[in-house]
Amino acid sequence: MSLRGAEATRQSHRISSDCFVIAIPRNDIETRANMKKKGFTLIELVVAMAIMLLIASVVMFALLKSKSKVRDQQRIAELNTIAQAMSTYYSDYQSYPYFEASKSKNGIFSRDENGYCFDGYKCIYSASQGSSWRVFLDNYLKNHPTSPKKGLVWQYFYSSSGSDDTPPSNYAIGVKLEVSNYRVSKTKTDAWYSSGYCQAPNCTPVLPKMETGWYYYIGN
């Protein structure tokens, strides 16, 4: 080998040793590229979270509405049960019950140790022995239905006719409803003791703490 050829060989070896090439397997490159493609951007995450919150709110609203509807069905069913008991009582006594001791013609279907429910309104289930209410409760309405929701505005409110010395000849029981898809079947121009659905303030008799919304009445 000539001197010039040997020098060229040494230069070639130097270049090869200086230029170190890292060979990355093709599979690793594709994996990293796929991970980049599969990753979410910040905007995509925000949109996904917004959609999830919207779905959750829709489901929650539907669930709450369903529970409100069930409570309304319970209210209507219990008022109808009270009305049936009232009808049987009237057949036997030719009048409707009231508190003889206080001559109270208004009351709430609930119970309290002091005899009063809210704002001075009598608790019907706290009626004393000997009163027509006690006779009615002990013999005609033993299950004692009560409102599924607390608060004066949600109670079953009883109103009746008659003077202090005359037992009631008419009555009406009303309750506020939670759902708002009812059809009006009772207005202010109808008899106060008529039955049906009405939308406050066009309801009579006026119930305690009456608010705008739907009410159900049953009476005779």
Please say if the pLDDT value at position 84 is more than 70. Answer: yes
Cβ atoms within 10 Å, residue 167: 18
Is 25 part of a structural domain of the chain? no
What is the distance of C-alpha 99 from the center of its chain? 34
Dist CA 143 CA 73 (whole Å): 17
Q: How many domains does the chain divide into?
A: 1
Is 32 part of a structural domain of the chain? no
User: What is the predicted pLDDT for the residue at 16?
Assistant: 47
Task: Return the closest-CA partner of residue 152 out of 179, 133, 174.
Answer: 174
pTM: 0.71
- 152 or 26, greater pLDDT: 152
Range of the domain at 67: 42-219
Please say if the pLDDT value at position 29 is more than 60. Answer: no
User: What is the predicted pLDDT for the residue at 47?
Assistant: 78
- 76 or 104, greater pLDDT: 76
pLDDT band at 3 (very low <50, low <70, confident <90, very high): very low
Over range 16-45, report the average pLDDT.
Answer: 58
Is 204 part of a structural domain of the chain? yes
Asked whether 140 and 81 are in contact (CB, 8 A), the reply is no
